[in-house]
Amino acid sequence: MVRKLYCFLASAIFVPSLLMAASAEDFYRGKNIRIVVGFSAGGGFDTYARAIARHIGKHIPGQPSVVVENMTGAGSLIAANHVYKVAKPDGLTIGHFIGGLFLGQVLGQKGIEFDARKFEFIGAPISDHVVCALTKASGITSVEKWMASKTPVKMGGIAPGTSTPDNATRVLKAALGLPIQLVTGYKGTADVRLAAESGEVAGGCWGWDSVSVTWRKALDTGDAVVVLQANRIIHPDLPHVPLAIKLAKTDEARKLIEVGIHGDSEIVRTYTLPPGTPKDRVQILRAAFNATLKDAEFLADAQKSKLNVDPVPVEEVEKDIQGLFKLDPGTINKLKDILYN
């Protein structure tokens, strides 16, 4: 009797959903998609997610409503584990947590309960462009002066394992032999900036999107100077700033920068789906995501919020993440040593 009841309940719930899956277009009609963001409301991840949530619904057949949920904690690892283990793979949950966790899995970071290779990916709206900005008062106004500094130059950090500033700074120090003392423990990049202005540290290395907006005034007056950039290409705003990869002297150094900074920058803002999400819904969401990032209304919103949009294609994201799992043990150990010690 009881078993019959269960069967009935199960079929009552499952059969319709199977029927709906047959036509994904009908599936999304009247549904509610949630974007689980691993950081608190008002932060960078949240701002992008909310801008996308406002516009992506109209690019999905059936025009579902889209809400943002903030699931904060452990540097977004809680959200990542949730999307992997708890969230139903029905195409109604999209995860947005920091992409540095994928490298974390390869390096054996504690607390990770997911396997990055099993997630479905949608893409990323932007890749980070890491720069190192230092104050004029520190005396380090070019990478040559930095190299020549007799004492370690104090650079601000937030916490070990953070993609920027900490990981980027540590990789640059190890790969280029720059004299750096990483002073970590500031609450955020804004606090690092304040510490630099008061002369406590010389500067910091994090995304140009953030530096260019929040440190605009000092950059204009020359009180702060970008002395180094770490990306595969030169940023159009920074034509005369040297690229880190060009300064690297050995293959190993180039590999560290490539994996630890370039690759990480591309996947840092990846949007993810739970493993096992039906392929047709994955395709629908990927297409909608791409269409949103080209949507004129979305771009107008983004421009007003000073959110740069430079989509990273999903193929590129997948390539970067698969690449992490093909790293040789030597590089992995070297990275572990640099980032966690």
Partner 1 sequence: MLDMLNALMSGLIQCFTWSTFSLMCIGIAIGFVVGILPGLGGPTAMALMLPFVFKMSAVEAFAFLLGMTAVTATTGDITSVLFGVPGEPTTASTIVDGHSMARNGEAGRALGAVLMSSLVGAIFGAVAIAIAVPIVRPLVLSFGSPEFFMLSLLGITFVASLSGEDQLKGIIAGGIGLMLATIGLDPISGTQRFTFNQLFLWDGIGLVPITIGFYAIPETIELAVLGTSIATQEVTELGGVMQGVKDTFRHWWLVIRCSALGTFTAIIPGMGAATTQWLAYAHAVQSSPNKERFGKGAVEGVLGPGAANNSTLGGSLITTIAFGVPASVIMAILLGAFIIQGIVPGPDMLIPEPKGHLSLTFSFVWVIIISNIITVGICFLFLKPLAKITQVRGSLIIPIILVLIYLGAFAEKNAFEDMLVVLFFGALGWVLEKLEWPRPPVLLGLVLGPLAENRLFLSSDNYGPAWLGRPGVLIIFAIILLGVIYPIITKKREEREKSASVSEAQATVEVAKPGGLRFTQAALFTTFVAVVLALALLQSRHFGFRAGLFPWVIGIPTLLLTLVQLAKDIMGHEKPKAAAADWEMVVDVAPEVARQRTISILLWTVGFFLAIWLLGFSNSVLVSMILYLKIAGKEKWPMTIAVSFFTWLFVYGLFERALSIPFPDGLLLTWIRGS
Residues of this chain that bind partner 1 (CB under 8 A): 6, 9-10, 13, 32, 34, 36, 40-43, 46-47, 50, 54, 67, 69-75, 77-78, 81, 110-111, 154, 158-161, 181, 183-188, 190-191, 193-195, 197-201, 213-214, 216-217, 301, 304-306, 340
Shortest separation between residue 282's beta carbon and partner 1, angstroms:
22
Nearest CB to partner 1, comparing residues 272 and 320: 272
Shortest reach from residue 231's CB to partner 1, in Å: 23
Please choose, from the candidates 56, 27, 51, the residue with its C-alpha nearest in 3D space to the C-alpha of residue 37.
51
Structure tokens at 334: 């070297």
Tokens of 243: 């690229």
Contact 157, 130 (CB under 8 A): no
Cβ atoms 55, 38 nearer than 8 A: no
SS3 234: coil
Nearer to partner 1, 215 or 314 (CB): 215
Q: Report, in Å, the least distance between residue 158 CB and partner 1.
A: 8
In the complex, the smallest distance separating the C-beta of residue 200 from partner 1, rounded to whole angstroms, is 5
Is 110 or 240 the residue whose CB approaches partner 1 more closely?
110
How far apart (Å, rounded) are the C-alpha atoms in residues 314 and 331? 25
Q: Which of 166, 225, 228, 231 is nearest to 192 (CA)?
A: 166
Neighbours of 128 (CB within 10 A): 25
- Which residue, 66 or 245, has its beta carbon nearer to partner 1? 66
> In terms of CB distance, is 192 or 312 closer to partner 1?
192
CB of 283 to partner 1, least distance (A): 26
Whole-number minimum distance, CB 147 to partner 1, in Å? 22
Nearer to partner 1, 186 or 248 (CB): 186
Cβ proximity to partner 1, 8 vs 325, nearer residue: 8
As measured in angstroms, the least distance from the Cβ of 188 to partner 1 is: 8
Residue among 85 and 279 whose Cβ is closer to partner 1? 85
- Supply the minimum distance, in Å, between the C-beta of residue 174 and partner 1: 17
Least distance from partner 1 to the Cβ atom of residue 191, Å: 6
> Closer CB to partner 1, residue 154 or residue 262?
154
